[in-house]
């Protein structure tokens, strides 16, 4: 696997989500599995609570995965609203 990117679906042997692609982080909430997430919906720069020039980017799919280097493709919130 290169640079944290996956092109296939959830790993059936994933210890975090057991192959479902999501997991419950408490009794009322679930989230996308960051291990199985393909990180293909784009990225946004974390600014609030981190500062405008911190260099951290978070996966737009909602898995919580962050990277320090700017990803190849970046979507802004307005791009996402327009489904670009």
Structure confidence by residue, pLDDT tens digits, 19-72:
888 888 788 888 888 888 888 888 888 877 766 777 788 888 888 888 888 777
Distance in angstroms (rounded) separating the CA atoms of residues 5 and 83:
21
Under the phi-then-psi rule, with left for phi > 0, alpha for psi from -120 to 50, and beta for the rest, what region is 61?
alpha
pTM score above 0.75 = no
Give the pLDDT score at 80.
Answer: 53
CA distance 23 to 53: 32
């Amino acid at each position: 696997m290169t640079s944290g990117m996956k092109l296939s679906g959830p790993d059936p042997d994933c210890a975090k989500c057991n192959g479902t692609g999501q997991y419950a982080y408490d009794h009322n909430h679930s989230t996308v599995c960051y291990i199985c997430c393909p990180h293909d919906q784009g990225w946004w720069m974390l600014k609030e609570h981190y500062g405008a020039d911190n260099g951290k980017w978070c996966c737009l799919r909602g898995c919580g995965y962050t990277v320090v280097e700017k990803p190849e493709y970046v979507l802004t919130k307005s791009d996402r609203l327009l489904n670009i």
